[in-house]
Chains A and B, each alone.
Chain A
Amino acid sequence: GQNIDQPTEMTATEGAIVQINCTYQTSGFNGLFWYQQHAGEAPTFLSYNVLDGLEEKGRFSSFLSRSKGYSYLLLKELQMKDSASYLCAVSNSNYQLIWGAGTKLIIKP
């Protein structure tokens, strides 16, 4: 089967750094996506990795290891507005997105 695993919930402090992990098993691989979703809103695109390594975009970075079926999203200098759910999704051989259940990130002052 195909599945994506990520923690259900994480808590971090404003100004700190947090790493959200994602492991996956899919039929084929055409890239891994991270999306941010605030409560009551649709997801918004954060990052895309198709090759191994780290992709940095401002305060957010995403890492991929295809051999390990593993990715993480790193958020630096956390702000209260970063409180949201973070969704990991993998594009399989049919370019269909397989979604994780999402990680709810709670930021405390």
Chain B
Amino acid sequence: GAVVSQHPSRVICKSGTSVKIECRSLDFQATTMFWYRQFPKQSLMLMATSNEGSKATYEQGVEKDKFLINHASLTLSTLTVTSAHPEDSSFYICSARDIASGKGEQYFGPGTRLTVT
């Protein structure tokens, strides 16, 4: 089946530093990847849609200069949280859509738990 990996799985950083999270589709190609954020006991919130070779599309209220997204290849997208603050502490999950699938199904990575101290 389609596998998506995320790295790192957990990260603790100090306030003001930047953190990069990688999302990889391991056995399929993904022209589109999605970045979600989930706070405890809340639903998934789509942050941005990452398109290979073009600029990401950000959801309303998500700062594009703070959450930098790069989708340089068909198997890799990265999210960089710049100048992180404690309120950015959350569970970040990426998903990828298999271009060969007609369903539009999204396969999820295992998530990255970010803690900003």
Contacts and interface: CB of A to CB of B under 8 A. Distances in A.
Query: Chain A contact residues: over half helix, strand or loop, or mixed?
Result: loop
Nearest to B106: A97
Nearest to B91: A40
Contacts of A22: none
Nearest to A30: B104
A11 to B, nearest CB: 17
**Interface SS majority for chain B:** strand
Interface string B75-117: 0000000000000000101000100000111111111010000
Interface stretch (B13-21, B41-49, B61-69): B41-49
A48 B109 contact: no
B108 A44 contact: yes
Interface of B: 32, 34, 43-44, 46, 49, 91, 93, 97, 103-111, 113
Given A30-B104, A42-B110, A43-B44, 13 more contacts: A31-B103, A31-B104, A35-B108, A42-B109, A43-B108, A44-B108, A48-B103, A87-B44, A95-B32, A97-B34, A99-B46, A100-B43, A101-B43
